[in-house]
Structure 1
């Protein structure tokens, strides 16, 4: 039976990756429209359960009247069919309807809808631009994705379990009271109007305060995750007290926001308690007065008082449900602001797949400034010939890494264009572009998965043999067998910790190089690729990188000029411009910026002897 309900909603059903709407109503429709059939069935089954419960109260009144005026000798003969009918409602119909509604809500909607919303939002957010993630806390973004899925599901369940159930109950109560005596409708209608006024005037402020609470909750999560992510820096600088204050400030704001919300909730509770008390007193007094005037029967008093007591018992739960509904809507609205942002970098509607043959890279009059007043890169033009090995050097902030980020289209150019084999990268898909470029960065962050998974990330379809060969070429095979994680997994199965923290910097770099070796892309970008390695390992890796660069177009960035001095050409950047070009010997003879940078550095590794001989 469980499996039947669970199969009704698969959260991983394939769907196109779409930007979620920015308006709350459209956001809900976007995720609920595909399951409207399931929602309608759930509403229908819940309605049957509510009507069956009201029918039992109606039968209770009839039963009291039968017992009051009837004879025990003829009771069963006169009312056997009615008793059988109500027995069916009480023993069969109502339990089946209640259990079916619980199955639909608890086994289909709650797990399915929650994770469907999270899954689709995660897929969209994952494809956001690099600047999107650089401008926010990773923990805060994750919190928004997770809590929005939960809040949307809770809002739907609140409507089905609370608002819908109350609506059915109110209509049923009014119908029964109208059949007993129209005067009994008056206090109930007055209570309904007062209850609606409470919802209209007192619940919206709760929604606004809930949105504030949601934002502070996300900020709190973001700050805590930021502290944990950078725990090494916290320990190195003995700054635990500063982190206490950093997080404590948001804890204070969160506490104040929660108290502000709870004041409103208590205020609603006080008003509702007064309304419920008035309803019980008025209906009870009016019922007794009508009975005393022989206008209604004893059974009618039983129906009216029992229904009102049930209604008032439900009202507190319903108000909490409605409050939660608005709170969850506020949480969803807060999440929309983060999740539904448009992509800063988007594929062209008619984007083609990049095809790389020779591997020529050409920058034509490009300009980019990260939104600053002055450009980081200004009218830069550069051609890297097929198979050419070009080193990019310059002071910090000269625009070297920005140039690479633009090549990978992490950002869109403000003007100019970048061509690979004559194809404008703005007109090809981002996926196909990055598939043709392999990159090793200075700050290598690995996935918190196994060594095997991290290397195979370069080419998931590669087999075990190719993966191990890449590890050998990257000089990583020597240390991998010695690895063991806290769960006892060893070697290639060992997990590396968040961002690879369980490995040394050099070990992380070698795993990253193995991943690039396995990818075997025609264009290779090295951004301080060996900066985390000691001299002995770097010398070994340089030999492997030299083999890796064979037949590829290479763009290498390095502060240690010794590591790139033997490349075909060196391009010197300063303040977003190319100020010098040539090989190592030519640039030394020129006596410009490169020569001054070289003088400040000691000799090094790959290619230095060749560079000195050439000079």
Structure 2
């Protein structure tokens, strides 16, 4: 077995950090200059906003110093009025420039995060995708990308300006009176500390709520994807009840989160009232004692009200911030996991010149304690066409999955042209092997794009030629948009037989030296199947072919048949040879019902 580090990842995947803060810093690392400029602009905006009460103080003190002669009012107040106008103008310039930068950075940041998460997700194994809803994964990527944006803007456009507001306010109040400034500073420090503590305790609720929403989203996607089944079994009411159970879970998780937030708001309002009443009372006693001027009194009250306003927002923003952080953490936990199967550091490209396949002492189990194969040994010679037969669960699909390296054996080796596939690039392996699955899945793209997926630089004539060989050209030409027609999600606009023909055309266009057929013509009528089978036989040429079959007649003409039973190859030979032996294969052939094998052996 390869000796990988505990956290292994594919070299081609982005090196995404697993820590939440490091992940966010990684995502924003492409915009250092613009984000620094935004920080400066937000500093300027916040400073201008909080200095407005200082300008008002200067105006009030100027007004208080005037005598009954009102003639020189504007001249006397010229400096504070210019300061007020300058602060207002500067605040507009700083804020709107910062807003323009946010518009420039925001969509790009979300795009970068989505790209990196999707690129990392691509390299997870088949087993990973088997344990996660596709809709839930898509939702997780989207929500993580949005939350990275919101977290960044929370720090830059909310927490940082609030820090500037609090700092400048305390500095101004200390200039008015040491005691008053210290009182407000103490309140601010205590408020921030308690708000942060309350918000961190809310993080658990927010993370749980985000995970529940993601699960519910996955259930909705699953239900919508299987709407036809629900209708065919008259289970629409059942599906509503089934979904409602998960919606109720989401409601409970939401209520836990919102009730906690409500308790936080009680603290926020009580604390705000304490600052408001305390500051007014303290400033009044100072003014009454002639210690501060009327302008100082006015500025103190204005600053206290601004602090209260920002403090209330701070509590709410802390809660939102930790929800965003929880979403990011949830996304990292779901996606940025160790890759299950990775290329070795010394991996080389696989170049198939002959197509010889060998399973050498292979031991494998989906659960290692319950192996499917124990010391499996088999050689498929170059150009040989081999059928795999056996009851369900006998090991046929596992044999194919191991050859495609969807899973890795616990022991032994699988070799192609005497090269261990564990030591080659996975992409190069998949370029050399074609698979026509029993239930092919198509992209929600045009027919031309789906067929051309087998060879991205294929000319139109090549695509049409492959479609003709697969007997798909006939129904495609009958469609209104022809080869430009969209097939729907997973190809739902096409019949099963049409989807299978598109999959066959795609593989014919790919023209890989090793071909795997997993009951590739099972959805076709007998006439079409016979014609396509002839075309497939011609397309096989000198390829090495492995055909998994439930209908034995489809593989009777192949060079060799491997008979599987409980993870062992119990018989090996041609169709006629195996029938002559009167053994397991003869029994399978005799048991066929309508040309198909039963799911398991019939006793008696």
Q: 2:454 is matched with which residue: 458, 477, 484?
A: 458
TM-score for the superposition, normalised by structure 2 = 0.94
Partner Cα distance (1:241, 1:82) in 2:
71
- How far the C-alpha of 1:135 sits from its partner, in A, is 1.2
Separation of aligned partners in 2, 1:588 and 1:500: 40
Distance across 1 between alignment mates of 2:552 and 2:62: 102
Q: Counterpart in 2 of 1:88?
A: 86
Structure 1 residue 601 and structure 2 residue 592: aligned?
A: yes
For residue 425 of structure 2, the aligned residue among 417, 426, 429 is 429
Query: Structure 1 residues 194, 26: CA separation in 2 closer, same or farther (over 3 Å shift)?
Result: same
Q: For 2:135, what is the secondary structure of its paired residue? A: helix
1:550 to 541, 545, 558: 541
1:69 counterpart (65, 71, 92)? 65
Which of 242, 247, 252 is the aligned partner of 1:246? Answer: 242
Q: Hey, what does 1:360 align to over in structure 2? A: 356
More off after superposition, 119-128 vs 35-44: 35-44
Partner of 1:100: 97
Contact 1:52 1:94 in 2 (8 A): yes
Residue 202 of structure 1 aligns with which residue? 198
Partner secondary structure for residue 478 of structure 1: helix
Q: How many angstroms does 1:35 deviate by?
A: 2.6
* Other structure's SS at 1:73 match: coil
Tell me the equivalent position of 2:253: 257
User: SS of 2:379's equivalent?
Assistant: strand
Q: CA RMSD in A?
A: 1.8
Equivalent residue in structure 2 for 1:405, among 381, 394, 401: 401
The alignment's TM-score, normalised by the length of structure 1, stands at: 0.92
How big is the shift at 1:413?
1.4
> 1:392·1:558 contact (CA, 8 Å) conserved in 2?
yes
Q: 2: distance between equivalents of 1:366 and 1:502?
A: 41
SS of the counterpart of 1:565? Answer: coil
CA distance in 1, matches of 2:460, 2:486: 17
Deviates more, 1:555-564 or 1:21-30: 21-30
8 Å CA contact retained: 1:562, 1:603 = no
1:126 CA drift (Å): 1.5
On the 8 A contact 1:109/1:153 being kept in 2, the answer is no
Distance in 1, matches of 2:15 and 2:122, equals: 12
Shift of 1:224: 0.9
Task: Tell me, in whole angstroms, the C-alpha distance in 2 between the residues paired with 1:603 and 1:271.
Answer: 75
Secondary structure at 2:474 match in 1: coil
| Unpaired runs of at least 5, structure 2 | 1-10, 597-604
2:558 aligned with 1:567, yes or no? yes
Task: Output the CA distance in 1 between the equivalents of 2:510 and 2:340.
Answer: 27
Q: Indicate which of 124, 131, 148 corresponds to 1:128.
A: 124
State the shift of 1:324 in Å. 0.5
Whole-angstrom distance in 1 between the partners of 2:239 and 2:595: 41
Deviation at 1:16, TM superposition (A): 6.2
**Given that residues 376 and 576 in structure 1 are in contact (C-alpha distance below 8 angstroms), is that contact kept between their aligned partners in structure 2?**
yes
* Alpha-carbon offset, residue 320 of structure 1: 1.0
2:571 counterpart residue number: 580
Tell me if 1:541 matches 2:549: no
The offset of 1:602, in angstroms, is 6.3
Deviation readout 1:305-343 (Å, 9 max, x if unpaired): 111112212222221111100111112112211111111
Q: Is the 8 A contact 2:56 2:80 kept in 1?
A: no
1:60 and 2:56 equivalent? yes
Superposed, 1:9-408 pairs within 5 Å as 17-70=13-66, 72-78=70-76, 80-81=78-79, 83-91=81-89, 93-105=90-102, 107-408=103-404
Distance in 1 (CA, whole Å) between partners of 2:20 and 2:88 is 40
C-alpha distance 299-213 of structure 1, shift in aligned 2 (>3 A) = same
CA–CA distance in structure 2, aligned partners of residues 172 and 602 of structure 1: 86
- SS of the counterpart of 1:390? strand
8 Å contact kept, 1:194–1:275: no
Task: Count residues with an aligned counterpart.
Answer: 584
